[in-house]
Amino acid sequence: MMQLRWGSATDVGMVRDINQDNLLVAEPLFAVADGMGGHQGGEVASATALEILERTFRESATKEELLEAVRRANAKVWDRAQLDDNLHGMGTTLTAAAVFSLEDGGEVVAVVNIGDSRTYLLRDGELIQLTTDHSFVEEMVRAGEISAEEAESHPKRNILTRALGVEPTVEPQVEEMTPRPGDRLLLCSDGLIRELNDNQIAAHLRKLKDPDEAAKELVAQAKAHGGHDNITVVIVDFDVESEDVTVHIDVPSKDDKRKGTNAQADYGRGNKIRPSAPRGRNPVTLRVIVFIFAVVALVGVGMMSVVWYARSSYFVGLEGEQLVIYQGRPEPVLWYEATIVQRTNVLTSDVLPSALPTLRDGALQSSLQQAQTYVENLKSEADEARGEQPSDVPTTTPTTALTTTPPNESTSTTTTTAVP
Ligand code: MG
């Protein structure tokens, strides 16, 4: 599984008295909920929804269970609102992302959404909105009645067309995407979007590599722009190369001992250590030699890991008009570049045009054989589409970079998001 790093921040903002937003970070499940309803209703709705979501998902972390968890959260919020007059009419938005391992060794991110909180993907520096707002103005924009700019200041921009807990059942929007190393997900409530436009959000996400720092900075920026609503941000990074590698050594300095701080606990949180040589003694002690040896060994293991990681996969890409199989990864891993291991006799004109964007990016495969099968499938898929009898190749559908969940019910709004 790709390594995940995440950060989060939430704030009441500059105008409201209470924070009705809530967030959940429970790897591999992340969510933001923005509650609504008078008295304490909003807070209760968003907190209840996330609690049920997490508990149900933990029982069985599958894609199906994620949708079931959303439905149960909806039912729980609805039930509580019916039983308690003070909570009557409460509801919440929900945007959630969960990472799943696939049988072929790959991974997929499922995103569910109800209401006008949002999940974005930052890929190659570009910000892509994965969710669609369930709001009155968004539907007017889609119908061509108002522009996106007009929607931002429209008096009815707060009216939601779908929310969790306001009816006995709910159908979330469901998206799926294949994560790539370096991808960054942003989950946020509308308190962020109301103050910062997509370009401003993207600029801060590109600038700050640490997810926690980036989350806090976005919240601070939203407050600086007015903070008219509660603001909540969750950021999830996929396989980022760490720029701040800390060597963990269990050697508390004298200063730490004197202050009575628990140096070991600090190490556990990845804080930087200031190893200090004891004063008045020869600094080249056995401890120093062991330390140097450990660092050299760590560097060696690190370099071997990079080579192993880089060589452990294959991808199908293009060399001119020809489909070729590379060993390595589409994005170079440090100094290690992918090498061509096989040139196929398949040309871009032999496959469907829809396959070309994936091929230009490089279609990642776990083995050489899988890469060969992928090429054969692309070819036979195109042959079939052209009405020709496919040659003697398997007829399974090739793994593409994006998949779509079949709708569970006819009212489901499952869609495929085009991710470049
Ligand atoms: Mg809000």
Out of 71-85, 190-204, 207-221, 321-335, which region has the weakest mean confidence (pLDDT)? 321-335
- Using an 8 Å Cβ cutoff, are 6 and 27 in contact? yes
- Using an 8 Å Cβ cutoff, are 232 and 23 in contact? yes
Out of 136-140, 238-242, 358-362, which region has the weakest mean confidence (pLDDT)? 238-242
Handedness of CA 225, 226, 228, 231 (dihedral sign): positive
- How confident is the model at residue 246, as a pLDDT? 39
- How confident is the model at residue 265, as a pLDDT? 28
- CA of 199 from ligand 1 middle (Å) equals 20
Total length of the chain:
420
- CA of 207 from ligand 1 middle (Å) equals 25
Q: How confident is the model at residue 302 (pLDDT cuts 50, 70, 90)?
A: confident
pLDDT > 70: percent of the chain: 81
- CA of 378 from ligand 1 middle (Å) equals 45
Taking all residues of the chain, what is their mean pLDDT, rounded to a whole number? 82
- How confident is the model at residue 240, as a pLDDT? 73
Task: Give CA–CA dist 53/69, Å, rounded.
Answer: 5
- The pair of three-digit structure tokens given for residue 240, joined into one six-digit string: 């980022």
Task: Give CA–CA dist 332/339, Å, rounded.
Answer: 10
Specify the higher pLDDT residue, 29 or 381.
Answer: 29
Specify the higher pLDDT residue, 71 or 328.
Answer: 71
Give the contacts of 94 (CB within 8 A, at least 6 positions apart).
31, 32, 33, 49, 50, 53, 70, 73, 112, 113, 114, 115, 117, 164, 172
- CA of 376 from ligand 1 middle (Å) equals 49
Task: Give CA–CA dist 321/295, Å, rounded.
Answer: 46
Instruction: Work out the average pLDDT over 305-309.
Output: 78
Model confidence pLDDT, tens digit, residues 67-79? 999 999 999 999 9
Model confidence pLDDT, tens digit, residues 264-277? 222 222 222 223 33
Question: Model's pTM, two decimal places?
Answer: 0.59
Examine the pLDDT at 105 and tell me if it is beyond 90. no
- Using an 8 Å Cβ cutoff, are 347 and 323 in contact? yes
Out of 119-133, 186-200, 201-215, 313-327, which region has the weakest mean confidence (pLDDT)? 313-327
- CA of 10 from ligand 1 middle (Å) equals 11
- CA of 38 from ligand 1 middle (Å) equals 13
Task: Give CA–CA dist 204/221, Å, rounded.
Answer: 9
